Amino acid sequence: MSQLAQYRRPFWDTQPGYRFDPYGSTQLRSPNEPLIVVPQTLSEITGPAFGGAFVRQGDNDLTRIASADAIGERIIVSGRVLDENGRPVPDALIEIWQANAAGRYLHKRDQHDAPLDPNFSGEGRTVTDAHGRYQFKTIKPGAYPWGNHYNGWRPQHIHFSLFGRAYATRLVTQMYFPGDPLLEFDPIFQCVPDVKARNRLVATLDWETTVPEYALGYRFDIVLRGRNATPME
């Protein structure tokens, strides 16, 4: 069978499945039938390229959407987007969203009794540079309760959505913060058996990007699927 050079399949236990009972919402939204494994065709090795056209200057600064500063602990979140082969992924669109410092989302379905901040919407986007680098300035999100289980609380996190080079490299994930005691109780964070894999979702404190007297830096590198060098025969 001749095929295009393929994006690799995930290593065992490093990606979640669909049904995961501790996270209740998976129970009615996960397929019962096994997924059908197919090779990637031209349809999957291509994908939308947004480049910079979709991103405006300042879209990576979530702290200044209005005339006044957002409330909370200012942070710099940065890193590189690489593929499995260690090569940078340039021009990758990154969209992020998050709760405010009080743990409240600017969303009509969020009924948590915590204050909204008129100077914080919680959305940002950027595109990686030629070296795969990206950077956001934002506010450290608060933890918040959710109804998954009794006294359930989500650890502090930022949602990330990425387009790499192909439909096959699409990734949505969440970034967490080091030392958060809620991580070990969070079914979403705990969704994969591989401890190292989930710990890679935890950013590290980064002195290089920490700005003295201004903001702490956190580093979060993201790895997208990488392609085999040669077509499979």
Partner 1 sequence: MLYPTTSQTVGPYLHIGLSGLNCADLTAGLPDPGAPKVVIEGRVIDGQGNPVPDGMIEIWQADAQGVYRHPDDPGYAGKDDARSAFTGFGRVPTEPDGSFRFTTIKPGRVAGPDGTWQAPHLVVSLFMRGLLKHLSTRMYFPDEAQANENDWILQQVPAARRATLVAQQTDNGGLRWEVVLQGKGETVFFDI
Residues 128-167 within binding reach of partner 1 (CB under 8 A):
159, 161, 165-167
In the 3-class helix/strand/coil scheme, how is 47-109 assigned residue by residue? CCCCHHHHCCCCCCECCCCCCCCCCCCEEEEEEEEEECCCCECCCCEEEEEECCCCCCCCCCC
Query: Given 7, 23, 134, 144, which residue is catalytic?
Result: 144
Residue 18 appears among annotated catalytic residues: no
Query: Tokens for 231?
Result: 């077509």
Active site residue 154: yes
The position carrying tokens 């500063």 is 69
The count of C-alpha atoms lying within 13 angstroms of the C-alpha of 8, restricted to the half-sphere facing its C-beta, is: 16
Strand 144-146 and strand 93-98: the pairing is unpaired
Q: Examine residue 115 and tell whether it contacts partner 1 (CB under 8 A).
A: no
Q: What is the DSSP letter of 69?
A: P
Residue 106 CB, nearest approach to partner 1 (Å): 6
Q: Please indicate whether residue 144 is annotated as part of the active site.
A: yes
* Closer Cβ to partner 1, 42 or 150, answer by number: 42
Question: Of the two residues 30 and 214, which places its CB atom closer to partner 1 in the complex?
Answer: 30
What are the structure tokens assigned to 121, written together?
Answer: 């919407």
**Catalytic hit among 104, 157, 165, 227:** 157
Closest approach of Cβ 213 to partner 1, in Å? Answer: 30
Could you tell me which stretch among 64-72, 84-92, 128-136, 207-215 binds partner 1 (CB under 8 A)?
84-92
58 binds partner 1 (CB under 8 A): no
Q: Which residues are tagged catalytic?
A: 105, 144, 154, 157, 159
